[in-house]
Amino acid sequence: MTKKENKKEDKKKEGLELVLEDLRKKFGDGAIMKLKEVKPTRVDVIPTGSISLDLALGVGGWPRGRVIEIFGPESSGKTTLALHALCETQKQGGVGAFVDVEHALDPEYAQRIGVNVEELLISQPESGEEALQIVETLVRSGEVDAIVVDSVAALAPKAEIMGEIGETQIGLQARLMSSALRKLSSIVSKTKTVILFLNQIRMKIGSYGKPETTPGGLALKFYASVRVELKRVGQIKKGEEIIGNKIVAKVVKNKVAAPFKSAEFNIYYNEGISKFVDLINVGTKYDVIKKAGSWLQFENLKLGQGLEEGKKFLKENEEVAEKIKQEILKKAFKENSQ
């Protein structure tokens, strides 16, 4: 490189530094930097209530500061999973909110799952605009850790509510969601709030390829950092009585870890996700819990004979369950990093 070219290069670098300095003055120190200056940060999470789903998400739970979509057909466990997120939020000393657009939340069921309903914030808005404005205000406050919106399909815009029955209001909901998510996705990253949008599945009539779609337009698919699809794959019976469902959760989009991983867990009608059964199944898979015939053992501690006894023991000894969980996470993430 000639002297003249060096001078030109130096001048260019000086010019760039002035531009970067100006941007930092306007927008703050972290507004722009060189990639090598960006320090990798640990992803803060809220546990899902299912160790198998925590692992499938790749980071140990729902990532904070992100928009998340949980979708699936009716009775696939969407609300149950959301309530577990609120329960875990409260366990961490955080504040949870439930925006009940469907006006269908059962406080008794929420309480059985472990949610402190006396401390839970709840709103039952009358329109999509009201619901999303409430969400935005809660996020901007920086005082709320997790917000559930149930559901996207019920977020009817005012114009649709006020219009005549049968009158077409094409694209109103999609525009409403697009406008709200543009703002929300930026704010949540600063306040570290998790927003869980629950969504249904609809059938596209006369379409080619996959006939299933989710309401609310394309904005949520785009702005969501994580999208989890739930499917009911079987029933749990006690004799002839059906007491719960087997659920498969597939991570169809993941911006914080590898996507397309799946998890399977049980949801019981009276207790929600059976986290102790989940813990035993995953613990045996990772050889954290040993099996000797039908006996289950963790370190030198016998948990019981069979799944039901093991579940009962862990329910009565939650400190042991927590220790098993931490051992599983340590082992799983060590394997993933190799």
pLDDT in tens, 84-103: 999 999 999 999 999 999 99
- Is residue 325 in a domain? yes
In this structure, are 204 and 158 located in the same domain?
A: yes
In this structure, are 261 and 303 located in the same domain?
A: no
In this structure, are 186 and 247 located in the same domain?
A: yes
Answer whether residue 32 shows pLDDT above 90: no
When the pLDDT of each residue in the chain is averaged and rounded to a whole number, the result is 90
289 strand-pairing partners? 298
Range of the domain at 303: 282-336
- Is residue 257 in a domain? yes
- For residue 31 the two structure tokens come to 């507004």
**Bigger pLDDT: 250 vs 170:** 250
In this structure, are 181 and 301 located in the same domain?
A: no
- Domain holding 291: CATH number? 3.30.250.10
Nearest Cα to 253, choosing from 32, 33, 57, 15? 57
Express as a percent the part of the chain with pLDDT over 70. 90
Per-residue pLDDT band for 112 (boundaries 50, 70, 90) equals very high
- Is residue 13 in a domain? no
- For residue 122 the two structure tokens come to 């709840």
- Is residue 52 in a domain? yes
For the chain, the distance separating the N- and C-terminal CA atoms, rounded to the nearest angstrom, is: 43
Number of domains in the chain: 2
**Per-residue buried b or exposed e for 71-97, using 16+ beta carbons within 10 Å of the residue's own CB:** bbeeebbbbbbbbbbbbbbbeeebbbb
Per-residue pLDDT band for 131 (boundaries 50, 70, 90) equals very high
- For residue 222 the two structure tokens come to 């785009």
- Is residue 291 in a domain? yes
In this structure, are 79 and 134 located in the same domain?
A: yes
Domain final residue, candidates 216, 237, 271: 271
In this structure, are 289 and 222 located in the same domain?
A: no
Distance (Å, rounded) from C-alpha 160 to C-alpha 216? Answer: 14
Residue 337 CA: distances (Å) to CA of 136, 330, 331:
36, 11, 10
Span 161-171, pLDDT tens digits: 766 555 556 68
In this structure, are 165 and 240 located in the same domain?
A: yes
Could you tell me if 140 and 187 are in contact, meaning their C-beta atoms sit under 8 angstroms apart? yes
Over residues 293-309, mean pLDDT:
92
Answer whether residue 284 shows pLDDT above 90: yes
In this structure, are 118 and 231 located in the same domain?
A: yes
In this structure, are 203 and 73 located in the same domain?
A: yes
What is the maximal distance between C-alpha atoms in the chain?
A: 88
Answer whether residue 205 shows pLDDT above 70: no
In this structure, are 237 and 298 located in the same domain?
A: no
- Is residue 131 in a domain? yes
pLDDT of residue 157: 86
pLDDT of residue 294: 86
Answer whether residue 335 shows pLDDT above 80: no
Answer whether residue 1 shows pLDDT above 80: no
- Domain holding 257: CATH number? 3.40.50.300
Pairing of the two strands 62-63 and 194-199: unpaired
Per-residue pLDDT band for 43 (boundaries 50, 70, 90) equals confident
In this structure, are 193 and 169 located in the same domain?
A: yes
- Is residue 184 in a domain? yes
- Is residue 250 in a domain? yes
Name the pTM for this structure: 0.86
* Residue keyed to tokens 């911006």: 255
